[in-house]
Amino acid sequence: MVWRMVMSKEGFVMGDPEGSLTPAQFEILQMLWDSAEGMSAAEIWERIRAEREVSRTTVSNLVDRLEKRNWLLRRKVDGVFRYAAAIEREATEGKLAAEFAGDFFNGSASNMLLSLLGTNRISRDELKRLKSILDDSKSPKNQSPKK
């Protein structure tokens, strides 16, 4: 099975995802990250419909827009299009966090983090994890070589 890719002079390539995501679009990506074989638009609709009322057309339009903006890949299997996320969860979350920091915190990740810390909504376990991440980022193996 082959995922549909964008054709360029160099061959088949996937373009960078365009634009940001709505919560509904992000929900679809979350489903697809958890699905090894991808999902059809009908399967996505069924899953969302089990949680709340939504029309099949609405879900189909969301999927189409995500695919056109390079957030999704598609392949045809037995006459049905199946979709998969075009980029990994971590890359998407990083892109969204950077956009959020840019839009609301003048591009400052530290200001965004300080704001979160000030709300007292971060658990002790999350604080330990953040400290570990910061400590790891300071380790010699993660430092850029000096030129």
The verdict on 76 and 94 lying in the same domain is no
Q: pLDDT class for 144, splitting at 50, 70, 90?
A: low
Q: What is the pLDDT of residue 3?
A: 40
Which one of 70, 85, 100 terminates a domain? 85
Per-residue pLDDT reduced to its tens digit, 13-64? 467 889 889 999 999 999 999 998 899 999 999 999 999 999 999 999 999 9
The verdict on 45 and 106 lying in the same domain is no
Q: What is the pLDDT of residue 146?
A: 53
Per-residue pLDDT reduced to its tens digit, 65-75? 999 999 999 99
Asked whether residue 1 is assigned to any structural domain, the reply reads no
What rounded mean pLDDT belongs to the chain? 85
Q: What is the pLDDT of residue 81?
A: 95
Indicate if the pLDDT at residue 108 is higher than 80: yes
Asked whether residue 74 is assigned to any structural domain, the reply reads yes
Asked whether residue 147 is assigned to any structural domain, the reply reads no
Show the beta-strand stretches assigned E in 28-147. Answer: 39-40, 72-77, 80-85
The model's pTM is 0.74
Asked whether residue 60 is assigned to any structural domain, the reply reads yes
- Output the CA–CA distances (angstroms, integers) from residue 96 to 8, 23, 38, 51, 102, in the order listed: 27, 11, 22, 24, 10
Domain span at residue 102?
A: 89-139
The verdict on 47 and 111 lying in the same domain is no
8-12, 15-19, 21-25, 118-122: which is most confident: 21-25
Give the Cβ contact number of residue 99 at 10 Å. Answer: 14
The verdict on 51 and 94 lying in the same domain is no
The verdict on 18 and 55 lying in the same domain is yes
